[in-house]
């Protein structure tokens, strides 16, 4: 029963979602929207669980004097400050919440994102080696794409690097991506099918398959 009931529920919910896709009748659409509302409500409650987990892990670190417990203080105080200003003074423009968001959150997130530029350069230096034909091809294409993003190459008269890089992006790259996408789409349907039919049960503790 511990396995059967979740599988049956999963099957019913999944079957309903498939049927509603093909049946436009309002009653089904109404239940569909209701189910989506449920999902949002469950998500909101799950956020409480998430916050509980966040607090517990940080409080545990502080209690046990974990080597980096000072950062747990920073996390909890930051949360309390944002919560206080968001709840009591609102989140509209020109509020304290908005000020903190624009002057702390925005630069912090932008900083982490900007690490990408540094990591990309070091990863390119480390791995872009013309070891084989395929690797050489990858290297040459990468260089052409990068040059295509540099406006001054537009002034080179004898070769249209910008046009060639656009062509690479819109024809071969898109074709390759479509190929990957087809495989992914088929994989998604098959995975969904095996979960709906209860063939895959590892997430329910069913031994990684239906077994026989």
Structure token digits, residue 88: 């009591």
Among 134, 152, 157, 158, binds another protein (CB under 8 A): 152
Instruction: Please identify which residue in 12, 80, 87, 170 interacts with another protein, judged by CB under 8 A.
Output: 170
Shortest CA distance to 198 belongs to which of 3, 6, 7? 7
Contact with another protein (CB under 8 A): which of 12, 13, 47, 159? 47
Among 7-15, 80-88, 129-137, which window interacts with another protein (CB under 8 A)?
Answer: 129-137
- Give the span between the Cα atoms of 8 and 195, in whole angstroms: 11
- Candidates 7-15, 81-89, 117-125 — which segment interacts with another protein by CB under 8 A? 117-125
Dist CA 198 CA 80 (whole Å): 43
Compare residues 85 and 200 and give the one whose CB is closer to another protein: 200
Q: Which of residues 67-106 bind another protein (CB under 8 A)?
A: 67-68, 71, 92-93, 98, 101-102, 105-106
Closest Cα partner for 199 from 3, 1, 13?
Answer: 3
Residue 34 binds to another protein (criterion: CB under 8 A)? no
Smallest separation, CB 10 to another protein (Å): 11
Count of alpha carbons within 13 angstroms of residue 16, beta-carbon side: 16
Contacts of 15 (CB under 8 A, 6+ apart): 196
Query: Rounded CA gap, 49 and 129, in Å?
Result: 47
Binding of another protein by 139 (CB under 8 A)? yes
56 is an interface residue for another protein by CB under 8 A? yes
Q: Which is nearer to another protein, 1 or 24 (CB)?
A: 24
């Amino acid at each position: 029963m511990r396995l059967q009931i979740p599988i049956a529920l999963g099957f019913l919910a999944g079957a309903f979602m498939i049927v509603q896709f093909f049946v436009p009748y309002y009653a089904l659409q109404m239940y569909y929207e209701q189910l989506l509302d449920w999902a949002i409500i469950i998500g909101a409650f799950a956020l409480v669980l998430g916050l509980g987990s966040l607090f517990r892990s940080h409080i545990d670190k502080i209690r046990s004097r974990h080597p980096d417990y000072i950062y747990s203080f920073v996390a909890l105080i930051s949360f309390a400050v944002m919560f206080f200003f968001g709840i009591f003074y609102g989140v509209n423009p020109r509020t304290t919440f908005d000020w903190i968001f624009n002057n702390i959150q925005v630069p912090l997130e932008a900083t982490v994102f900007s690490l990408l530029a540094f990591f990309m350069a070091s990863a390119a230096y480390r791995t872009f080696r013309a070891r084989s034909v395929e690797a050489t091809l990858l290297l040459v294409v990468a260089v052409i794409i990068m040059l295509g993003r540099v406006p001054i190459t537009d002034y080179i008269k004898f070769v249209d690097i910008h046009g060639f890089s656009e062509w690479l992006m819109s024809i071969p790259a898109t074709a390759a991506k479509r190929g990957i996408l087809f495989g992914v789409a088929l994989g998604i349907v098959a995975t969904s099918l095996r979960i709906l039919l209860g063939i895959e049960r590892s997430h329910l503790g069913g031994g990684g398959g239906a077994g026989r």
